Structure 1
Amino acid sequence: MNTCNICNKNFTKKTQLVVHMRVHTGEKPFSCDQCEKTFSQKSNLTRHESIHTEEKPYSCVQCEKTFKERCNLTQHKRIHTGEKPYSCDQCEKSFFNIRDLTRHERIHTGEKPYSCDQCEKTFSLNGDLTKHKRIHTGQKPYSCDQCEKTFTTAGELNVHKRIHSGEKPFSCKLCDKHYPSSSSLSRHKKSRGHLEMMKSCNNTVPTSVSISFIECEEVDVKEEIKEEEIFEEEPLSIQMRADNIEENIKHEREDPLSCEQNYDEDRIVTIDIVHH
């Protein structure tokens, strides 16, 4: 039996022990001749080299996708089969791969292993830390191919692109209006026009609602919008489509900070008045 004298792990072969010792020593004797990366095992170097060759020898028989590694193909096949072999032992959720399960488990443990070296913030995902660091550096690596704007995250860029494409994937089921972001849809649902339509349709109006009125005449109206993802909330970007304007309430110029409401007395409505 071959035993590691540092962590006491046992190996059946001496070659396995030699490879294992590199975990402790940090030795990486295998280097890529096309970049500066080094690896502790020959197999890891071989896997890495496929990045440079663009070769994807593993293909899915159910669709046209190809992969550089067999393990990636195996994970992909689960999309077709619906198999989720990795399950959380604290709740009923299951996942396609071990990486997603590990991320999920941090919800229960509260673990945040990734910390910013410039401030005290910590994160559960390395990707979240990477995005956070751009606050300090000012880096905006995502650029729009139709204009000169750049963005901190891919999600923020995707929201911006809807300005050019006119895409409005978020819709109100009550009045069939469409919006470019979930936040602009939420604002619509808090507008007086929408709430009055709910009342006319005998739907329940929330007993506590926050409404903001914005003067829309001869004003370039902009609205913060955001992109939502599975593990994080992306930073906010700004733009309101022109046809959203009709959802805002116009006030009389003579008394720009007053508003009369006709809701029933038994309903509590909180109103935030914005200067015109």
Structure 2
Amino acid sequence: MNVTKEEPELVHIKEEHGDLWSNEDEEQLVVKQEADTFKVTPLDLKHDMNEPEEKMNQLLNADSPEDEELKRKKSDGSKLKRHKTNKPCEACGKWFSQKGNLIKHIRTHMGKKPYECEMCDKSFSNGSHLASHMRAHMGEKPFSCPTCAKGFSQKGNLNMHLRTHTGEKPYTCEMCGKSFSFSSGLVCHMRTHTGEKPFSCPTCAKEFSQKGSLIMHIRTHTGDKPYTCELCDKSFSNGSHLAGHMRTHTGEKPFSCRTCAKEFSQKSSLSKHMRTHTGEKPYACEMCDKSFSVGSYLARHMRKHTGEKPFSCPTCAKGFSLKGNLNMHIRTHTGEKPYHCKVCNKSFTSSSKDL
């Protein structure tokens, strides 16, 4: 990889208070701070990632002209605590001011992970990542939120959590301007623009843009319903379905129609209702010219074309394309007549009968 040489630029080294980098496991060189400035000339980056690993290792020992100058100053009795290499990674061109951090970075290219967890089979490219991982085994959560006191094993996770309180959304989509609190949210969102669906079901090969959507889908194959209502015996395959179900117990209807003010317990029910105002029918039959406002209506209609009758009577095995028709049929066996005439005392098995 080649990078065009640029004009040398002056770099001022200021005294730093405290350790900006943690490199206990790496070499720490000592040189003196100089009041003067010196020139740093970018290197030609000609490293081929396909070259032998030995050549990558040369990065750890190769000294730039600036290194030689710093070594000369060190021999003059200088005492700067950290060795500022101002050296780039020859594989990708990224610059580092500390040699130890350059070494750690090079491992990401070489695939080296010398720090192994003794409790599982995971390995890491640097010691700090292993230390963070060990907290997962020990349950240690040294970083706590000053607002709600929630604990975290990693400082980065705490920083992300804090955005839920501040409302900060630093990750912005360059294609539509939508912003997100987390980089992962932006990554998932970008797939709505690109159409990328990297997660596929091993059973039916259906593809998904988000891993969470795949996990929920897989439960349709396994029948797994890990979310259980504490007020009744119903279980659900995902948390949002349980949340919607809980509103049937509480009577809460947080979603209201802006046109007629009708309220709904689930957002999807509001979306369906809105189409009664707009007349939108986005679900079109590919076999005829009919369209429907709700996906389930299209699925029901398609059975007329296919002849499918998935609902069968447990008494006589007669099949029906609609569950409602099966329910009415079952009443012919039970004799149930739930529909009553308000004028006389006649009762009927279905509301469609003449009253």
TM-score for both structures, normalised by structure 2: 0.48
State the shift of 1:6 in Å: 3.7
Deviation string, structure 1 residues 62-109 (Cα, Å, up to 9, x no partner): 222222322222111111111100011111310000111111111111
- Name the aligned partner's letter for residue 183 of structure 1: S
Deviation string, structure 1 residues 104-137 (Cα, Å, up to 9, x no partner): 1111111111112222222111111122222222
Deviation string, structure 1 residues 147-173 (Cα, Å, up to 9, x no partner): 242222111111111111211111123
Q: Is 1:178 paired with 2:347? A: yes
Q: Report the 3-state secondary structure (helix = DSSP H, G, I; strand = E; otherwise coil) of the residue aligned with 1:183.
A: coil
Q: Is 1:153 paired with 2:322? A: yes
Counterpart Cα distance in 1 of 2:220 and 2:262: 33
- Name the aligned partner's letter for residue 329 of structure 2: H
Counterpart Cα distance in 2 of 1:117 and 1:28: 24
Counterpart Cα distance in 1 of 2:220 and 2:287: 32
Counterpart Cα distance in 2 of 1:106 and 1:47: 27
Counterpart Cα distance in 1 of 2:206 and 2:278: 34
Counterpart Cα distance in 1 of 2:232 and 2:275: 33
Q: Flag the 1:41–1:157 CA change in 2: closer, same or farther, 3 A.
A: same
1:103 equivalent in structure 2: 272
Q: Among residues 211, 223, 236, which one is paired with 1:42 in the alignment? A: 211
Q: Flag the 1:97–1:140 CA change in 2: closer, same or farther, 3 A.
A: same
Q: Report the 3-state secondary structure (helix = DSSP H, G, I; strand = E; otherwise coil) of the residue aligned with 1:77.
A: helix
1:135 equivalent in structure 2: 304
Identical pairs, percent: 51
Counterpart Cα distance in 2 of 1:104 and 1:177: 35
Q: Report the 3-state secondary structure (helix = DSSP H, G, I; strand = E; otherwise coil) of the residue aligned with 1:163.
A: helix
Counterpart Cα distance in 2 of 1:52 and 1:137: 23
Deviation string, structure 1 residues 4-28 (Cα, Å, up to 9, x no partner): 4443434454433322222223222
Q: Flag the 1:54–1:130 CA change in 2: closer, same or farther, 3 A.
A: closer
Q: Flag the 1:122–1:73 CA change in 2: closer, same or farther, 3 A.
A: same
Q: Among residues 229, 236, 244, which one is paired with 1:60 in the alignment? A: 229
More deviation, 121-130/31-40: 31-40
1:19 equivalent in structure 2: 188
Deviation string, structure 1 residues 33-65 (Cα, Å, up to 9, x no partner): 333233222222222333344333332232222
Q: Flag the 1:105–1:32 CA change in 2: closer, same or farther, 3 A.
A: same
2:74 equivalent in structure 1: none
2:48 equivalent in structure 1: none
1:168 equivalent in structure 2: 337
Counterpart Cα distance in 1 of 2:179 and 2:314: 55
Q: Give matches, 1:234-249, under 5 Å.
A: none
Q: Among residues 275, 278, 287, which one is paired with 1:118 in the alignment? A: 287
1:193 equivalent in structure 2: none
Q: Flag the 1:56–1:141 CA change in 2: closer, same or farther, 3 A.
A: closer
Q: Report the 3-state secondary structure (helix = DSSP H, G, I; strand = E; otherwise coil) of the residue aligned with 2:224.
A: coil
Q: Is 1:31 paired with 2:200? A: yes
Q: Flag the 1:103–1:53 CA change in 2: closer, same or farther, 3 A.
A: same
TM-score for both structures, normalised by structure 1: 0.60
Residues matched between the structures, number: 186
Q: Among residues 93, 96, 112, which one is paired with 2:262 in the alignment? A: 93
Q: Report the 3-state secondary structure (helix = DSSP H, G, I; strand = E; otherwise coil) of the residue aligned with 2:176.
A: coil
More deviation, 151-160/53-62: 53-62
Counterpart Cα distance in 2 of 1:8 and 1:102: 24
Counterpart Cα distance in 2 of 1:4 and 1:158: 50
Gaps of 5+ in 1: 190-276
State the shift of 1:145 in Å: 2.4
Counterpart Cα distance in 2 of 1:98 and 1:183: 31
- Name the aligned partner's letter for residue 84 of structure 1: K
